[in-house]
Structure formats: structure tokens, C-alpha cells
């Protein structure tokens, strides 16, 4: 009898164990913890901008680099800040390096910072990528932003850096709850590590919106230039029919004399504390925060590395308007037609292609180490051509890799891809949407090229 009870007990135990294992196997894995968001502050001084302000006070010529996206590309805070520095230090000469490209983030920024900014020897560089990095992973933001920092101070150790955070309509509620968005929070981690000052331009915007004094999106607002001195921060803001400040047309890109004027007021407020901070001298680089950051990022002209076959040619900027338009950004521009291929080899962890998105583009087939996928080179904005990046692969083994890209003959449904507001352009100019070409300009690698 005892043995029978023991057998039943053992069987029950086995069943419970098996059931428990089954439940554990079927249970979803614990979700990864969200990246911890930083508390909102208007600005953080850290080590300030001592080298830049020392040259201003000495009446020397200074260059300010503006590396960012479309909000920086606008005639807004970039223009206003350069003018403000010149007004505050009339004995100095303040020059601008406009390195802003709409729709691009820090991943493209780390590859182009040498060509677009550092080669021109800035004394200060503002970096504005929080909006366009909103969808990037914290890991990749760290790699690209730290790459920008370390590239800058390896090349120009006396160049001061300042991070700038702009906002969109989607960011307002988070700011009103007292939290920065994820991309800005990651950038603050690096700013702490390297003692780089940062300015959040959206704090006052969020406050005014909460108080009912500002509307983020006002497409019909008639915003005129502020009368008198446009840099007069006490001038009355233009408002909508309800008396609210009209921040922007689309919830993203501020009107110059409303949203950008508020942004500029935040910069002025921050500079009052940042100007006296820090000690003059070269910035020191120690061990990186992210060992596999992208400071080894390189931009290589196609003709120096790639083998190009099939229909297509390198465009002459003296004869081709498209090539001329982008000649200040790309080392060269090629027009490759369906059937053309481009191949290259490299040793390293990451690769990409600097190219254009546009109405006359189609599909590109990307093959790396035998694995193939398809990339579309037109999106909803594409009633015009703009700079972009094809990210070929990331986090690769540090060994030799082989890449081939082929322009496909098939055409994407461009009417469905375009935003509804842009379909009218396709109806008005159908010919410019007919080609399915590809416009590459350079190869990006983190590693070494193999010829």
C-alpha cells in the first residue's frame, strides 16, 4: 500500500514538473525595460563653451558649425543664433557652416561630419538630431553621436560642442509630464560623459501649449515678420484667430518669427550661464563610453572603391543640375539605370550608401554576404530629390564582407507611396516619375576598404 502511494505521489510530481515546464515554455519572455527618460531641464552647462567664447571676447573670427536636420536647415534658430552672437560680440567676426540636411539623423551625420563641417575648421559645433533620431535604437544613437564627438575632438580638440534638442507635436505631452524623449535622453547620457553643454529648445513651447497660449500646428496662420529688430525677444508674437501663438505649419517646422523665436529665446537664456563656464584648452579623449562606436566611419567616393557595370554614368556637376545641387554634400553623383550593378568589399562592422531619394527612383536590390533584400528609393515626400542613406548592414563580424547592389527594372506604385497632398504633383508632372533609376554618391563604412 505504501509503495502504491509513493508511486502515485511520484507520478503526480512528474506531472506537475512537466506542466510547469510547459507553462514556462509557453509564457512570453519578459519585455525589455524601456530606456530611462531624463527629467526635462531647459539647459545643462557642464563644461561650457570656453574656447569659443574666448575667441569671441578677443575679437577674432569664429566659425559655428550647424550639424542637424530640417529644423536646423530652416531660416530659423540657426540664422538667429549666428546673428545674436555677432550682435553680442561686434568686435568679432562670426561665420556659419550650414551642415543641416532635412530628414536625416545622426547615423548619416557621423559619416558626413568630416566632409561637411570639420574640414572647414569650426570653433563651435551645434548638433541637432533628437527629432530625426526618434525611431533609432539607443545603441545606434550612442554609436553615431559618440562617433561625432570623438571624430570632432580627434581632428579639432579645441572645437567646442553643444547638443540642441528640438521637438515635434508628438513630444509635447511627454515634456509636459516632465520627461525628455528617448533620443534626447540617450544624448544626455553622452553629454554627461563628455561634459558637453546641452539646450532643450522645447521647454517653453510645452509650457505655453499647456497654458493654452500656443498651438503647435497652425497651417492657415498668417505669420508675418516681427516688426523692427527680428531678434528682439520682447516683440509681440503673431497669433492665430484665438489669440494663440502659431508655432508651426505642420507640428514640426517652426515658423521663423514664432516657434524659432521661442527657440532662440531658450538659447539666449542658456548662453547667459554657459558663457562663463569651463576652462580654455583642448578637449581630452579618454576611453569611449561605447567601445564599438562609429568614430571610424568613412565616406568613400564610389569610383575609389566600387566596381560599376551596366547602364549609367557619373554626372558632371557643370552640366547636370541634379549633380550641381548636391555637389557641396557628395564627393560625386552617379545615375545608374535598371540593370546596372555596383559591388565592393570591405572589412568592418557597418556599411551604407549615400544616395538620393526622389520621384525618378525605384527599387535597389541589396546583397551582402549572399543575403538579399530590396530597398525602395522613393517615399511620401518625393516630389523632389533629397539626400538619404541605405543602411546595408550593422553589427557585422569584423571580417571581409562583399556587397552588391543592383538597380531593378520593376516600378514601385508611386501614386500609393506619395502622401495624398503630393499626388497632384505626379498628375501635373507625370514624366518625372517614370524613371526607376538610382542616384548613389558615396560608400559609407565603419572599418577598412578592400580594393
What does pLDDT average to over the chain? 89
- Answer for the pair 313, 334: CB distance below 8 angstroms, yes or no: yes
Mean pLDDT, residues 38-59: 98
CATH number of 297-450: 2.60.120.260
Which grid cell sits at 210?
499647456
CA distance 100 to 65: 9
The pLDDT assigned to 34 comes to 82
Which grid cell sits at 224?
508675418
CA distance 317 to 326: 9
Would you say residue 10 has pLDDT above 70? no
Reported as a single tens digit per residue, the pLDDT across 263-294 is 999 999 999 999 999 999 999 999 999 999 99
The pLDDT assigned to 218 comes to 83
Would you say residue 369 has pLDDT above 60? yes
CA dihedral 285, 287, 293, 299 (to 10 degrees): 40
CA distance 176 to 208: 10
Reported as a single tens digit per residue, the pLDDT across 88-126 is 999 999 999 999 998 899 999 999 999 999 999 999 999
Would you say residue 225 has pLDDT above 60? no
Which grid cell sits at 148?
561625432
Would you say residue 235 has pLDDT above 70? no
CA distance 276 to 354: 40
The pLDDT assigned to 249 comes to 85
CA distance 321 to 327: 10
The pLDDT assigned to 238 comes to 66
Q: Find the helix or strand (DSSP H, E) in which 95 lies.
A: strand 93-100
In this structure, how many other beta carbons lie within 10 angstroms of the beta carbon of residue 413? 7
Mean pLDDT, residues 13-33: 37
Query: Strand, coil or helix: what is 241?
Result: coil
The pLDDT assigned to 221 comes to 61
Would you say residue 233 has pLDDT above 60? no
The pLDDT assigned to 240 comes to 72
Beta-strand runs (E) in 329-398: 334-336, 341-357, 363-368, 371-376, 386-393
The pLDDT assigned to 451 comes to 79
Q: For a pLDDT cut of 70, what percent of the chain falls above it?
A: 88
Would you say residue 236 has pLDDT above 60? no
CA distance 43 to 180: 12
Q: Residue 373 — very low, low, confident or very high, per pLDDT cuts 50/70/90?
A: very high
Q: Residue 222 — very low, low, confident or very high, per pLDDT cuts 50/70/90?
A: low
What does DSSP say about strands 43-44 and 61-68: parallel, antiparallel, or unpaired?
unpaired
Domain ranges (residues) in the chain: 43-274, 297-450
Secondary structure of 322-344 in HEC code, one letter for each residue? HHHHCCCCCCCCEEECCCCEEEE
CA distance 278 to 54: 11
Q: Which fold has domain 43-274?
A: Rossmann fold (3.40.50)
The pLDDT assigned to 23 comes to 30
Reported as a single tens digit per residue, the pLDDT across 154-171 is 999 999 999 999 999 999
Q: Residue 33 — very low, low, confident or very high, per pLDDT cuts 50/70/90?
A: low
Angle between helices 259-274 and 77-88 (to 10 degrees): 40
Q: Do domains 43-274 and 297-450 have the same CATH topology?
A: no
Would you say residue 43 has pLDDT above 70? yes
Mean pLDDT, residues 162-181: 97
Mean pLDDT, residues 76-92: 97
Mean pLDDT, residues 383-401: 93
Instruction: Find cell 575667441 and name the residue.
Output: 55
The pLDDT assigned to 237 comes to 61
Query: Strand, coil or helix: what is 213?
Result: coil
- Answer for the pair 87, 51: CB distance below 8 angstroms, yes or no: no
Amino acid at each position: 500500500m505504501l509503495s502504491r502511494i509513493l508511486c502515485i505521489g511520484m507520478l503526480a510530481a512528474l506531472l506537475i514538473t512537466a506542466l510547469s515546464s510547459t507553462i514556462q515554455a509557453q509564457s512570453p519572455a519578459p519585455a525589455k525595460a524601456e530606456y530611462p527618460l531624463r527629467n526635462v531641464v531647459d539647459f545643462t552647462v557642464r563644461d561650457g563653451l570656453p574656447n569659443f567664447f574666448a575667441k569671441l571676447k578677443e575679437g577674432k573670427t569664429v566659425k559655428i558649425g550647424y550639424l542637424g536636420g530640417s529644423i536646423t536647415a530652416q531660416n530659423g534658430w540657426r540664422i538667429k543664433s549666428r546673428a545674436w552672437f555677432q550682435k553680442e560680440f561686434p568686435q568679432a567676426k562670426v561665420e556659419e557652416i550650414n551642415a543641416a540636411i532635412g530628414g536625416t539623423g545622426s547615423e548619416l551625420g557621423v559619416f558626413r561630419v568630416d566632409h561637411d563641417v570639420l574640414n572647414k575648421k569650426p570653433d563651435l559645433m551645434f548638433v541637432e538630431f533628437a527629432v530625426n533620431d526618434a525611431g533609432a535604437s539607443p545603441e545606434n544613437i550612442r554609436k553615431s553621436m559618440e562617433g561625432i564627438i570623438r571624430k570632432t575632438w580627434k581632428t579639432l580638440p579645441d572645437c567646442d560642442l553643444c547638443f540642441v534638442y528640438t521637438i515635434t507635436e508628438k513630444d509635447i505631452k511627454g515634456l509636459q509630464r516632465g520627461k525628455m524623449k528617448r533620443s534626447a535622453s540617450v544624448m544626455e547620457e553622452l553629454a554627461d560623459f563628455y561634459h558637453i553643454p546641452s539646450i532643450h529648445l522645447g521647454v517653453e513651447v510645452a509650457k505655453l501649449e499647456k497654458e493654452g497660449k500656443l498651438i503647435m500646428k497652425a497651417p492657415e496662420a498668417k505669420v508675418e515678420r516681427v516688426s523692427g529688430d527680428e531678434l528682439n525677444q520682447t516683440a509681440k508674437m503673431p497669433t492665430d484667430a484665438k489669440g494663440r501663438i502659431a508655432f508651426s505649419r505642420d507640428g514640426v517646422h517652426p515658423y521663423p518669427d514664432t516657434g524659432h523665436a521661442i527657440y532662440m529665446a531658450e538659447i539666449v537664456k542658456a548662453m547667459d550661464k554657459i558663457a562663463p563656464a569651463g576652462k580654455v584648452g583642448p578637449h581630452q579623449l579618454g576611453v569611449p563610453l561605447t567601445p564599438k562606436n562609429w568614430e571610424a566611419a568613412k565616406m568613400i567616393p564610389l569610383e575609389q572603391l566600387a566596381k560599376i557595370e551596366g547602364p549609367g554614368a557619373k554626372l558632371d556637376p557643370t552640366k547636370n543640375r541634379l549633380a550641381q545641387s548636391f555637389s557641396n554634400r557628395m564627393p560625386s553623383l552617379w545615375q545608374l539605370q535598371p540593370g546596372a550593378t555596383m559591388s565592393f568589399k570591405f572589412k568592418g562592422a557597418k556599411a551604407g550608401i549615400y544616395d538620393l531619394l526622389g520621384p525618378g527612383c525605384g527599387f535597389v536590390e541589396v546583397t551582402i554576404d549572399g543575403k538579399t533584400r530590396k530597398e525602395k528609393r522613393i517615399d511620401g515626400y518625393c516630389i523632389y530629390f533629397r539626400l538619404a542613406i541605405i543602411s546595408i548592414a550593422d553589427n557585422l563580424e569584423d571580417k571581409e564582407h562583399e556587397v552588391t547592389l543592383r538597380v531593378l527594372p520593376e516600378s514601385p506604385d508611386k501614386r500609393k507611396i506619395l502622401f495624398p497632398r503630393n499626388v497632384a504633383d505626379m498628375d501635373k508632372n507625370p514624366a518625372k516619375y517614370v524613371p526607376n533609376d538610382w542616384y548613389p554618391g558615396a560608400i559609407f563604412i565603419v572599418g577598412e576598404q578592400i580594393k
